[in-house]
């Protein structure tokens, strides 16, 4: 099962033919931009939109998803320092994790490390494992797009100054312990919360 976020509303994708409480549609028949507009209208009115797209083949499910909207591929990092604190950025009035668009022919680990360095000033990064993909919808030049972010866990021994990349709208960069991370996640995005264990979300 996959979740594609429109703001904080998840659209569920799966190989199941139905999920209780959700409006289920075959993904190959979906008018994705129209569904997105409907979700946004319902959100604005404080109503819940519950959509489920399905295909019997998981491979076909994702192929159809990628064909519905222009796709932007990004890399990001959930970074730990030697004190086991997590690196957060403040952007657009929310706490987030550093991430950004991959450059042409750039592999995803390289893209993720570069973006973390550029957005936060943190150096000496090493990838320890791949975490997951997240999917969310954004709008650019009047067109809806699908951002697919490859997230990696990273570690660093960096102890220097944190430098927010102001040209990317980042106003703060902070290391946060578990308690402060939990607080930050109450003012973050649902797709970011997927990267954290229950100890941060409870």
Query: CA torsion, points 114, 115, 117, 122, in degrees to nearest 10?
Result: -130
Domains of the chain: 2-68 (no CATH), 77-201 (3.90.79.10)
- Whole-prediction pTM value? 0.91
In order along its 202 residues, the chain shows pLDDT tens digits of 899 999 889 999 999 999 999 999 999 999 999 999 999 999 999 999 999 999 999 999 999 999 999 999 999 999 999 999 999 999 999 999 999 999 988 999 999 999 999 999 999 999 999 999 999 999 988 899 999 999 999 999 999 999 999 999 999 999 999 999 999 999 999 999 999 987 788 6
Query: Can you tell me the distance from the alpha carbon of 7 to that of 153, in angstroms, rounded to the nearest whole number?
Result: 24
- Which contacts qualify for 97-103: CB closer than 8 Å, 24 or more apart? 97/151, 97/192, 97/195, 99/74, 99/75, 99/149, 99/151, 100/74, 100/75, 100/76, 100/168, 101/72, 101/73, 101/74, 102/73, 102/74, 102/75
Pairing mode, strands 86-91 and 51-54: unpaired
pLDDT score recorded for residue 16: 94
pLDDT score recorded for residue 201: 80
Pairing mode, strands 51-54 and 23-26: parallel
Query: Can you tell me the distance from the alpha carbon of 74 to that of 134, in angstroms, rounded to the nearest whole number?
Result: 10
Query: Can you tell me the distance from the alpha carbon of 136 to that of 7, in angstroms, rounded to the nearest whole number?
Result: 8
């Amino acid at each position: 099962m996959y979740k594609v976020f429109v703001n904080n509303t998840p659209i569920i994708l799966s190989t199941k033919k139905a999920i209780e409480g959700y409006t289920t549609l075959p993904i190959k028949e979906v008018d994705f931009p129209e569904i997105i507009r409907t979700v946004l209208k319902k959100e604005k009115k404080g109503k819940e939109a519950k959509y489920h797209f399905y295909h019997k083949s998981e491979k076909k499910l994702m192929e159809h998803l990628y064909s519905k909207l222009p796709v932007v591929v990004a890399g990001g990092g959930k970074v730990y320092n030697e004190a086991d604190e997590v690196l957060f950025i403040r952007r657009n009035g929310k706490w987030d994790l550093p991430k950004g668009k991959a450059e042409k022919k750039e592999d995803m680990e390289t893209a993720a490390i570069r973006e973390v360095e550029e957005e936060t000033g943190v150096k000496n990064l090493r990838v320890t494992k791949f975490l997951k993909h997240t999917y969310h919808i954004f709008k650019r030049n009047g067109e809806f797009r699908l951002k697919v972010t490859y997230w990696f866990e990273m570690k660093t021994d960096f102890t220097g100054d944190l430098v927010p990349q102001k040209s990317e709208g980042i106003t703060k960069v902070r290391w946060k312990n578990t308690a402060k991370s939990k607080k930050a996640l109450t003012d973050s995005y649902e797709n970011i919360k997927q990267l954290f264990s229950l100890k941060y979300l409870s």
